[in-house]
Amino acid sequence: MQKGSIRVQTENIFPIIKKFLYSEHDIFLRELVSNAVDASQKIKTLAALGEAKGELGELRIDVKIDADKKTLTISDRGIGMTAEEVDKYLNQVAFSGAEEFLEKYKGQNEANIIGHFGLGFYSSFMVADKVEVFTKSFQPDAKAVRWECDGSPDYQLEEIEKEIRGTDIVLHLNEESREFLEAFRISSVLEKFCRFLPVPIFFEDKQVNNPAPAWTRKPTELTPEDYQNFYKELYPFSEPPLFWIHLNVDYPFNLTGILYFPKIKQSYEIQKDRIQLYCNQVFVTDEVKEIVPEFLMLMHGVIDSPDIPLNVSRSYLQGDPNVRKINAHITKKVADKLEEIFNNDRASFEDKWESIGLFVKYGMMTDDKFLDKANRFLVMQDTTGHFHTLNEYREATQALQKDKEDKQVILYTTDPVQQDAYVQQAIAKGYVVLKLDTLIDNGFISQMEMKWEKIRFTRVDSDIADNLIDKQDGADTVLSKEEESRLKDLFGLQIPDLNINVEVKGLSADAPPVVATRPEFMRRMKEMASMQGGMGAFYANMPDEVTLTVNGNHPIYTSVLKETEKEVQEKRVHNLADLALLSQGLLKGQGLTSFINRTVELMSKN
């Protein structure tokens, strides 16, 4: 039997390993199983090269719990180790001391440790008081050996009898880690980290992984059903995806994966961080912010690349040339796929737009390269259900919807039901009104006004239909100037939380008697402020700016102006104003209660 001390310059290496090696202790199982996978892959390679003789047998990894002995065992039938290799890999820990260890590894991403057998192996001491290794090399006449260490720098190494090639690692779990004697806990860790490792993994006599997931196969080998089934495997309770993109690049970087467009019915259902990052089929993280473009964080799926440096800070990742290339490649592939579907099956594209639109608009707002491509396949639905690209909308509205600055005015509604009266008036004038009613549209509108040339967005209720395009002045009314002045004075109401501006114009006789509008710029500012909190809340709580446009041609004013009872006249006028405010959603609380009571009172007089 050989005894000795593990060759490091400090006796404090194990406490440091326990404290700093990994942020989550359950990752030890990923490391040990990954090492077992590496050993299994190596024996396969050596056999293919003719360097390993004899039958390979079944290459599998077994994870077993012994609750009575309080042990967890990871076994493989891989390449195994000789006594010399055990000494090299386990006893000569590649640190000159604790100080260098801290300098090199503290705060770095744990994924860097995958493939470094000695370091990954020592993660076992985060959960074990004692570790035993039973191993037999594939090499002819190699003696099996047993290595034991209790977490101090001292170890034992001795020859043993072991018939089967490979390695068994037995962890004698410490008191704080007894959770890993529970089958459910082990299952959940294997599910998280090892579900797609390329060698069969068994736990409680059941295979727990898929060694050949869809992304590792060639796109030509896969059917639509294969892609759908893999999505179910990743997200068992989700609706089927809309479509997918298979990534398969080996130059100038290595990248494989499948990205899915999920079905999103409402924008509040958006779920980020659903893309999983793997390194050679070993799960690393689902935080892929620096690698995947921000707008594609809405997608689901898997990416796998050995070329992404996972051991460095986020700021370094952002500047890494491979990461930038991968990011740009994913953006291009997504844009090309969307354009392909749009060109080949526009009806299907439009049918899926409720979900696709979120990705497209978000991408156009945050990525100028994507914007250039998306301008060709962005579609916007109008209130009649018809879809327009930007160019199609320009052509359809060229004659009527240009303002004094020669900008194309895009009329839109954020609530077709609430703003129906305004929509109908605009349609009657021959205008085309788009529906922009998702959570993302407010930001999208502001961004596109800056990025698109000669475009202005105007909400359909920001002015009366006759004036929406800023070309027409109010027509003369049938009233005398004295009557117009009296009417304007009557509408000079003091309404809490509203700054009211009154104008009298000659609209058509069938237009409403009063139209309430809110200036586009001020309304947008308040809406944006209300979402920001902090100082934004101050601006959001400022009084609303409202213009009451009194339609001097409406027949109701003949009787209003002839009303002899001043109080009744004022109440009728107040009711007309309240009806207009109600259409803008600005009549609330006490104002709404007063309107109801006043209406009942006026009806009782007739």
pLDDT given at position 115: 40
Q: For tokens 């104008």, what's the residue? A: 503
Angle at 107 between CA 286 and CA 15, to 5 degrees: 115
Q: For tokens 């009571």, what's the residue? A: 597
Q: Burial of 413 by CB count in 10 Å (0-12 exposed, 13-18 middle, 19+ buried)?
A: buried
Statement: residue 108 has pLDDT above 50: no
**Helix, strand, coil percentages, rounded to 5, for the chain:** 45, 20, 35
CB 573 within 8 A of CB 557: no
Return the CATH number of 214-334, one of 3.30.110.40, 3.10.50.40, 3.30.230.80, 3.40.50.300.
3.30.230.80
Model confidence pLDDT, tens digit, residues 23-60: 678 888 988 998 899 899 889 888 888 888 878 889 99
Statement: residue 11 has pLDDT above 70: no
Lowest mean pLDDT among 149-163, 267-281, 330-344, 385-399: 267-281
Q: For tokens 């009649």, what's the residue? A: 384
Q: For 188-194, what is the mean pLDDT? A: 92
Angle at 282 between CA 276 and CA 288, to 5 degrees: 30
Q: For 166-183, what is the mean pLDDT? A: 95
Statement: residue 5 has pLDDT above 80: no
CATH number belonging to domain 379-467? 3.40.50.11260
At 459, give phi and psi (nearest 5°): -70, 145
Q: Under 8 Å CB-to-CB from 268, ≥6 apart: which residues?
A: 439
Beta strand pairing status for 71-76 and 61-66?
A: antiparallel
Alpha helices in 49-161 (DSSP H): 83-86, 98-105, 117-121
The domain ranges of the chain are: 2-193, 214-334, 379-467, 481-604
In the structure encoding, which two tokens stand for residue 159, read together? Answer: 């020859």
Model confidence pLDDT, tens digit, residues 420-448: 888 998 998 899 999 998 888 988 999 99
CATH class assigned to 2-193: alpha beta
Cβ atoms < 10 Å from Cβ of 606 = 4
Nearest residue to 124 via CA among 86, 77, 174: 174
Model confidence pLDDT, tens digit, residues 464-488: 767 777 655 556 777 888 888 888 8
Alpha helices in 507-588 (DSSP H): 520-532, 535-540, 556-562, 566-583
Q: Under 8 Å CB-to-CB from 431, ≥6 apart: which residues?
A: 397, 400, 401, 411, 465, 468, 469
Tell me which of 505 and 267 has the higher pLDDT: 505
Q: Under 8 Å CB-to-CB from 57, ≥6 apart: which residues?
A: 77
Q: Burial of 175 by CB count in 10 Å (0-12 exposed, 13-18 middle, 19+ buried)?
A: exposed
Give the C-alpha separation, 545 to 578, whole Å.
15
- Name the percent of the chain lying above pLDDT 70: 85
Tell me which of 287 and 388 has the higher pLDDT: 388
In the structure encoding, which two tokens stand for residue 43, read together? Answer: 């024996």
User: pTM of the predicted model, to two decimals?
Assistant: 0.75
Give the C-alpha separation, 290 to 155, whole Å.
42
Statement: residue 103 has pLDDT above 70: no
Return the CATH number of 481-604, one of 3.40.50.2300, 1.20.120.790, 1.10.1060.10, 3.40.47.40.
1.20.120.790
Tell me which of 117 and 428 has the higher pLDDT: 428
CB 397 within 8 A of CB 383: no
Model confidence pLDDT, tens digit, residues 129-139: 999 999 999 99
pLDDT given at position 450: 93
Statement: residue 512 has pLDDT above 60: yes
CB 262 within 8 A of CB 269: no
Beta strand pairing status for 154-160 and 144-149?
A: antiparallel
Q: Under 8 Å CB-to-CB from 558, ≥6 apart: which residues?
A: none
Helices (H) and strands (E) counted in the chain, each on its own, are 21, 22
Residue 440 Cα to chain centre, angstroms: 13
pLDDT given at position 9: 46
Statement: residue 586 has pLDDT above 50: yes
pLDDT given at position 71: 97
Give the C-alpha separation, 186 to 63, whole Å.
9
Model confidence pLDDT, tens digit, residues 542-580: 777 888 888 888 889 888 888 888 888 888 989 998 898
pLDDT given at position 46: 87
Cβ atoms < 10 Å from Cβ of 384 = 9
Tell me the average pLDDT of the chain: 84
Tell me which of 388 and 517 has the higher pLDDT: 388
pLDDT given at position 533: 59
- DSSP letter (8 states) at residue 406: S
pLDDT given at position 517: 85
pLDDT given at position 270: 55
Model confidence pLDDT, tens digit, residues 217-266: 999 999 999 999 999 999 988 889 999 999 998 878 889 999 999 887 65
pLDDT given at position 110: 39
Tell me which of 423 and 279 has the higher pLDDT: 423
Q: For 581-590, what is the mean pLDDT? A: 84
In the 3-class helix/strand/coil scheme, how is 36-76 assigned residue by residue?
HHHHHHHHHHHHHCCCCCCCCCCCCEEEEEECCCCEEEEEE
Give 97's pLDDT tier (boundaries 50, 70, 90): very low
